[in-house]
């Protein structure tokens, strides 16, 4: 049977995926009211709408509350070590370009111990999507100040208040060579959260989404003013970006038409302090992708995989002649 015939048969027997098809058997263990639940829902909705086969979808994470997301997705997952989600994801993508790769990480996981990997992932611009769950605190380790914690935050590691101003993930990412897609979303506007995740998925290159995410236990009132006052959220719209639905436009009237190719204006918007910019700040699909530049150098075939594995095994293998020469053996 030819490959094309096999694909046709697979398409004939495939059933449409529903939201529940992307939910694992493990129930989410996040706190009630945690914004991570909204992010999980957006991810599962995207997979359903794009009809992504679970066996062709990979979620990679590091350590933290956000990094538990792969456990709750019915897809391939890799729960890595602290700050190392991106190099794992890059390794997966460059060897298996046919897979859809998503990275979920927290503000501590990405912006502290994983900061070097974050910078170089943006520079490589490999075709994957990163969701930064930013609740501005270390939640899993029970309230420690993170790089994005606001100045003055009293925590278990800063009992007299955080000394430094918070790091801004948006301005940092926009300043990195080869940046191609930067967006910001908030967990309390689920429709826009989904729209932004969808735009990121369809972008060719490395998509960076900072998601301001509520933590009901350790930052319980951090975003209350923004939730209660829609005018404090500036929605960025554009023909090549977001287009608000009429019902959202009636609530969120503070809107600005922003061209996602305007890097200088994107930086200005990223620096806003009294308002939260929500939307696509920057989108340049012309930036070359490292995985495509390297494609074809060493195609991954079953024979190549077997050869590479045997080469590695030979380095640590003990052969009978070697054992006899050394005087060992039964």
pLDDT tens by residue, 223-279: 999 999 999 999 999 988 899 999 999 999 999 999 999 999 999 999 999 999 999
CATH number of 141's domain: 3.40.50.970
Q: CB of 74 within 8 A of CB of 226?
A: no
Name the domain count of the chain.
Answer: 1
Per-residue buried b or exposed e for 88-102, using 16+ beta carbons within 10 Å of the residue's own CB: bbbebbbeebebbbb
DSSP reduced 3-state for 242: strand
Structural domain span for residue 31 = 16-288
Q: Are strands 206-212 and 57-61 parallel, antiparallel or unpaired?
A: unpaired
Residue 311 lies in a domain: no
Residue 294 lies in a domain: no
Residue 300 lies in a domain: no
Q: Which of 119, 161, 155, 164 is nearest to 135 (CA)?
A: 155
Mean per-residue pLDDT, 23-29: 95
Mean pLDDT of the chain: 92
Q: Which of 189, 205, 181 is nearest to 261 (CA)?
A: 181
d(Cα 55, Cα 232) in Å, to the nearest integer?
A: 41
d(Cα 173, Cα 248) in Å, to the nearest integer?
A: 28
pLDDT in tens, 166-196: 999 999 999 999 999 999 999 999 999 999 9
d(Cα 67, Cα 103) in Å, to the nearest integer?
A: 9
At 301, the pLDDT band (50, 70, 90 cuts) reads confident
Residue 216 lies in a domain: yes
Residue 299 lies in a domain: no
* 206-212 sheet: strands from edge to edge: 76-79, 57-61, 100-106, 128-134, 206-212, 181-186, 276-283, 233-237, 255-257
pTM: 0.87
DSSP reduced 3-state for 69: helix
**Looking at residue 330, what is its pLDDT?**
47
Distances in whole angstroms, Cα of residue 288 to Cα of each of 174, 177, 309: 16, 11, 31
Residue 314 lies in a domain: no
Residue 112 lies in a domain: yes
């Amino acid at each position: 049977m030819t490959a094309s015939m096999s694909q046709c048969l697979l398409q004939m027997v495939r059933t449409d995926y529903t939201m529940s098809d992307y939910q694992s058997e493990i129930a989410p263990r996040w706190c009630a009211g945690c914004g991570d639940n909204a992010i999980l829902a957006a991810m599962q909705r995207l997979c359903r709408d794009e009809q992504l086969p679970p066996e062709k979808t990979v979620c990679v994470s590091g350590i933290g509350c956000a990094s538990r997301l792969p456990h709750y997705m019915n897809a391939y997952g890799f729960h890595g070590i602290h700050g190392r989600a991106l190099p794992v994801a890059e390794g997966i993508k460059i060897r298996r370009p046919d897979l859809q790769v998503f990275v979920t990480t927290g503000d501590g996981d990405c912006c502290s111990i994983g900061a070097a990997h974050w910078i170089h992932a943006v520079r490589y611009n490999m075709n994957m999507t990163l969701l930064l769950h930013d609740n501005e605190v270390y939640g899993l380790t029970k309230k420690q100040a993170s790089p994005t914690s606001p100045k003055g935050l009293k925590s278990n590691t800063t009992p007299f208040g955080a000394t430094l101003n918070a790091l801004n993930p948006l301005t940092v990412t926009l300043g990195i060579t080869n940046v191609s897609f930067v967006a910001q979303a908030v967990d309390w506007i689920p429709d826009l959260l989904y729209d932004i995740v969808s735009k990121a998925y369809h972008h060719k290159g490395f998509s960076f989404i900072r998601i301001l995410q509520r933590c009901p236990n350790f930052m319980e009132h951090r975003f209350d003013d923004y939730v209660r006052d829609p005018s404090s959220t500036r929605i960025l719209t554009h023909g090549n970006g977001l287009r608000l639905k009429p019902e959202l436009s009636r609530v969120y009237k503070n809107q600005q038409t922003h061209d996602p190719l305007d890097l200088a204006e994107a930086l200005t918007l990223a620096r806003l302090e009294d308002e939260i910019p929500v939307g696509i700040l920057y989108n340049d699909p012309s930036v070359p992708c490292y995985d495509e530049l390297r494609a074809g150098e060493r195609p991954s075939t079953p024979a190549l995989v077997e050869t590479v594995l045997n080469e590695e095994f030979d380095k640590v293998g003990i052969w009978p002649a070697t054992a006899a020469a050394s005087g060992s053996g039964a």
